[in-house]
Amino acid sequence: MAIEKIFKDDATEEKGERARMASFVGAIAITDLVKTTLGPKGMDKILQSTGRGHGVTVTNDGATILKSLHIDNPAAKVLIDISKVQDDEVGDGTTSVVVLAGELLREAEKLVAAKIHPMTIISGYRMAAECARSALLQRVVDNKEDAEKFKSDLMKIAMTTLSSKILSQDKEHFAQLAVDAVMRLKGSTNLEAIQIIKKPGGSLKDSFLDEGFILDKKIGLGQPKRIENAKILVANTAMDTDKVKIYGARVRVDSMSKVAEIEGAEKEKMREKVQKIIAHGINCFVNRQLIYNFPEELFADAGILAIEHADFDGIERLALVTGGDIASTFDNPESVKLGHCKVIEEIMIGEDKLIHFSGVEMGQACTIVLRGASHHMLDEAERSLHDALCVLSQTVNDTRVLLGGGWPEMIMSKEVDELARKTPGKKSHAIEAFSRALVAIPTIIADNAGLDSADLVAQLRAAHHKEGCNAGIDVISGSVGDMAELGISESFKVKQAVLLSATEAAEMILRVDEIITCAPRQREDRM
């Protein structure tokens, strides 16, 4: 008797070998896509959208590339997800995590072909990941006690992070900016207080850090250009003349004088609202919405600086850094928390006038102004700087530091190899495969720089058999170098996140033995 079909007509299912094959192929294809962006000599990708305006993004950031791809393969989606989480969690290592997961799957494919059960591979990978993590923990350096050393650690980490990005030419300058900005945060990981403003013009070298807050707006006409000891009311309220806002209302009048009366009433209503606002005892009013000419005049007469149309991001951050609340009603002034700052003045950056709030309540607030030749460059510079800021703020909390340049991978690989030799049974093959996958990262870094990776990695492996070795790949000179002398450092938290996320993602994809695709929902004919 024929078995009845369970699924609808268009649904498809793939079982066993075919399902696993589809997972492996998808994951490895994604890895091959981003692996050329890894390391200091990694190349950039141009992403062109097919939507309106054909927007172009030029980027080297793994998470940004993968976020923009629309992909059908389920396993590839898992990898895109881990790269997003890595970006949100620690900021850097978005490419490494995908590459490592892909390499683990590439090795697993060979093991599955050799008739080793996926569960055996998974338990081997688990043991190997634990061993690799403990190998790193034994070799971390923690300079939390010594402020000078810790600051130089942060500088090194920032320079290492930036060296694979567009800012690598001026990495000292930007590393200094990033470290200063993060040091002001005094250990909080809330990057809201660091504002990044992009202004085309000048070169990347002209970027600078400014204490305080800069709002990308102009000061209105006839208003004070400089205010000291400002009391700021941040609001989100309609300041256009209160028209009769009853939709579909029709007002019938029998003479023009009645129209004038209605207009007069509207004006009076507006005047009352402005009086209420002035009663807060403020000298600066920032509104998210428009402020019409009439209320603006009233504010100017009262000597109050009124700023309109401050974008939402702008006023949220302004309220945060000046310590005020965003108000929308003004009936009881005593319950509204005002923001404070020492000086508000107008400054020029390039061609544009901006408003500068200095001496704000939240001392850790600062603004980084990026200059650059074009919008694409500025966007990429902002992404790179954001990665550096994320990594640094995480490192300030978890102060453990490792060397970079393929050194951690070689350390882990050596320990994992030792473990494979001690482990009996089929698991040892999986553990050995894990060690090979780890070595793939230095290999790819060398390949991307056009070096002979086989030779360099063999030299590295030999160097790492000596105790206390600091060898890693020095991409600039194209040889094996001492990472401690070259000052190439990475945050332990980033490496740990890469290792654990990649292992878990590979594990998840390995467990799959069937892929079921639903039938699309049929549209009813609405005729």
SS3 288: coil
Dihedral pair phi/psi, residue 512, rounded to 5°: -75, 130
Q: Choosing from 153, 170, 379, 387, which is the catalytic residue?
A: 387
Q: Choosing from 94, 160, 399, 423, which is the catalytic residue?
A: 94
Cα atoms in the Cβ-side hemisphere of radius 13 Å centred on 407: 27
Q: Give the Cα-Cα-Cα angle 483, 484, 486 (nearest 5 degrees).
A: 60
387 counts as catalytic: yes
61 counts as catalytic: yes
210 counts as catalytic: no
Cross-strand bridge partners of residue 307: 286
Q: Give the Cα-Cα-Cα angle 374, 378, 383 (nearest 5 degrees).
A: 150
Token pair of 256, please? 């023009």
SS3 203: coil
Q: Choosing from 31, 59, 61, 153, which is the catalytic residue?
A: 61
Distance separating alpha carbons of residues 24 and 394, to the nearest angstrom: 33
Could you tell me which of 278, 319, 329 has the C-alpha nearest to residue 301?
278
SS3 378: helix
Neighbours of 31 (CB within 10 A): 23
Distance separating alpha carbons of residues 339 and 488, to the nearest angstrom: 42
Token pair of 263, please? 């207009």
For residue 305, what are the CA distances in angstroms to 152, 221, 279, 288, 344?
43, 10, 15, 14, 9
For residue 303, what are the CA distances in angstroms to 22, 224, 458?
69, 7, 73
Q: Choosing from 95, 322, 443, 503, which is the catalytic residue?
A: 95
- The pairing of beta strand 305-307 with beta strand 284-287: parallel
H-helix or E-strand containing 372? Answer: strand 366-372
Could you tell me which of 477, 479, 498, 403 has the C-alpha nearest to residue 90?
498
Cross-strand bridge partners of residue 366: 194, 211
**Residues near 404 by beta carbon (within 8 Å), at least 6 away in sequence:** 160, 472, 483, 488, 489, 490
Task: Classify residue 78 as exposed, middle or buried by CB count within 10 Å of its CB (0-12, 13-18, 19+).
Answer: buried
Q: Would you please indicate which residues are annotated as catalytic (active-site) residues?
A: 61, 94-95, 387
